[in-house]
């Protein structure tokens, strides 16, 4: 005689819907929804910035031996449909060249009233797509006037810097390191800093990482791969500032919003910052929204400064450096302020389940 035994689950069944609620918490569902929104924002931002590059008010200098000829050419370029150029006259070719080197303009048209061939000075080190757009636009305008155009690249991209994109990729790499390092530091003992001391220690660790990452990135882009002709010290300083600024922003967001702060940092740096950085398409080729926010965000400021260091002897790099410094200071201040504010509040650190004064080894 065989005795049959039945296996029973001690937990009562409340139906399929209850099982779903038990398996996926409301907090997890909201986080997944946030990821979906972030993903859609990523797609929208990148496609919106890159799907239809359109030149708009590219600054260009115009000069000629006779001032009247320069004025006439500048007026004709300014009247082009869609205002792709923003021309202004300068005294002579030397002044035009100096403005290109100082990054005040992106090109210069040297008009020869005595002949039928004019010269266009461009700087592909500031972005190959931008110099090509200038060549195409000015070339069409010259052809319509029955003239020919000869192009001279006065600040060419280095042979190892394909289309002038190495600066952009270097800065993107620094940005990735900055927010990943900060995220790891912040979640190592709960998603928010429990006290001011821990916040300062994390900022110190971030600074040490930024110094190392800045140096190694500069060495790889320079001597190792030969992609950027800038000096090591300049790129090292820029890289340290980029990594620390992005990391400080990430710590600040996590101090304000907990684990959601990681998503906010990605939204700012990756979703909005990278497509507006002027990498593949410099600012004059981007749509108005991305052109407006790009210089104010770390990827854009870092990319512009890196190109200035590599191809323009550091000219016009001060403004983007100040932008990065402002982000670094603001991020550090908010991080410490959030920690100080939470120190006097009862309760547990987010994600730890422990009170704020619990020993670190218990976390």
**Contact yes or no for 100/121 (Cβ under 8 A):** yes
Task: State the average pLDDT for the chain.
Answer: 88
Note the pLDDT of residue 168. Answer: 96
The yes-or-no verdict on residue 285 having pLDDT over 90 is yes
Predicted local distance difference test score (pLDDT) of residue 28: 79
pLDDT (average), residues 80-98: 96
Taking 80 as the threshold, does the pLDDT of residue 188 lie above it? no
User: Would you state the pLDDT for residue 22?
Assistant: 65
Tens of pLDDT, residue by residue over 302-348, are 999 999 999 999 999 999 999 999 999 999 999 999 988 876 555 44
Nearest Cα neighbor of 199 from 362, 361, 349, 354 is 349
pLDDT of residue 17: 67
- Alpha carbons 272 and 95: distance in angstroms, whole number: 36
Distance in Å from the first CA to the final CA of the chain: 57
- Check residue 297 and give left, alpha or beta (phi > 0: left; psi -120 to 50: alpha): beta
Distance of CA 100 to the CA centre of its chain: 23
- Label residue 258 left, alpha or beta by phi (over 0 means left) and psi (-120 to 50 means alpha): left
- Say what the pLDDT of residue 363 is: 39
pLDDT in tens, 135-165: 999 999 999 999 999 999 999 999 888 788 9
Alpha-carbon span 259 to 263, nearest angstrom: 8
pLDDT tops 50 at residue 232: yes
The encoded tokens of residue 38 equal: 């972030």
Among 208, 211, 218, smallest CA distance to 241 is for 211
Residue 359 binned pLDDT confidence (cut-offs 50, 70, 90): very low
| Residue range 111-127, pLDDT digits in tens | 999 999 999 999 999 99
Please say if the pLDDT value at position 251 is more than 50.
Answer: yes
The candidate with the shortest Cα–Cα distance to 327, out of 266, 248, 260, is: 248
pLDDT at position 361: 39
Q: What is the pLDDT of residue 18?
A: 66
Phi, psi angle pair for 226, to nearest 5°: 65, 35
Rounded average pLDDT over 160-176: 93
Task: Determine the Cα–Cα distance for residues 186 and 61; give it in Å rounded to an integer.
Answer: 49
pLDDT at site 198: 87
Answer whether residue 217 shows pLDDT above 70.
yes
How does pLDDT run across 29-54, given as a tens digit for each residue?
A: 888 888 899 899 999 999 999 988 99
Mean pLDDT to the nearest integer, 250-271:
92
Is residue 247 scored above 80 in pLDDT? yes
Q: Annotate 294-357 with DSSP letters as a single string.
A: GGGSHHHHHHHHHHHHHHSTTTT-HHHHHHHHHHHHHHHHHHHHHHHHHHTS-SBPTTT-SBTT
Please give the share of the chain, as a percent, with pLDDT higher than 90. 74
Return the pLDDT at 354: 37
Q: Is the separation of the CB atoms in 85 and 285 below 8 Å? A: no
- Given this model, what pLDDT does residue 300 score? 97
Query: How do strand 148-153 and strand 117-122 relate by DSSP bridges?
Result: parallel
Q: What is the pLDDT of residue 93?
A: 96
Predicted pLDDT of residue 316 = 96
Give pTM, 2 decimals: 0.86
Structural domains of the chain, ranges and CATH numbers in brackets: 58-153 (3.40.50), 163-352 (no CATH)
**pLDDT above 60 for 355:** no
12-29: per-residue pLDDT in tens?
A: 556 666 666 666 678 778
């Amino acid at each position: 005689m065989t005795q049959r035994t039945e296996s029973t689950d001690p937990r009562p069944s409340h139906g399929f819907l209850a099982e779903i609620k038990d398996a996926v918490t409301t907090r997890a569902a909201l986080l997944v929804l946030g990821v979906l929104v972030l993903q859609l924002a990523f797609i929208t931002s990148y496609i919106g910035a890159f799907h239809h590059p359109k030149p708009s008010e590219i600054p260009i200098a115009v000069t000629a031996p006779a001032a009247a000829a320069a004025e006439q050419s500048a007026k004709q370029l300014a009247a082009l449909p869609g205002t792709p150029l923003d021309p202004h006259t300068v005294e002579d070719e030397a002044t035009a060249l100096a403005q290109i080197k100082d990054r005040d303009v992106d090109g210069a048209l040297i008009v020869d009233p005595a002949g039928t061939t004019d010269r266009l000075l461009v700087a592909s080190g500031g972005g190959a797509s931008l110099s090509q757009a200038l060549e195409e636009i000015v070339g069409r305008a010259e052809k319509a006037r029955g003239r020919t155009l000869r192009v001279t690249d006065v600040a060419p991209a280095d042979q190892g810097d394909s289309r002038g994109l190495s600066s952009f990729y270097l800065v993107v790499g620094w940005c990735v390191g900055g927010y990943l390092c900060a995220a790891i530091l912040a979640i190592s003992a709960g998603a928010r800093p429990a006290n001011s001391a821990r916040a300062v220690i994390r900022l110190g660790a971030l600074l040490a990482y930024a110094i190392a990452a800045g140096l190694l990135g500069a060495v790889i882009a320079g001597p190792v791969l030969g992609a950027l002709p800038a000096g090591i010290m300049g790129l090292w300083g820029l890289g340290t500032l980029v990594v620390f600024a992005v990391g400080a922003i990430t710590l600040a967001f996590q101090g304000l919003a907990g684990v959601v702060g990681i998503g906010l940092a990605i939204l700012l740096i990756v979703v909005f910052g990278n497509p507006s950085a002027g990498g593949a398409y410099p600012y004059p080729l981007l749509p108005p929204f991305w052109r407006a926010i790009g210089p104010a965000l770390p990827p854009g400021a870092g990319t512009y400064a890196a190109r200035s260091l590599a191809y323009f002897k550091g000219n016009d790099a001060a403004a983007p450096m100040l932008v990065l410094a402002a982000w670094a200071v603001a991020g550090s201040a908010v991080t410490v302020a959030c920690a100080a504010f939470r120190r006097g509040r009862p309760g547990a650190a987010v994600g730890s389940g422990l009170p704020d004064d619990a020993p670190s080894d218990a976390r």
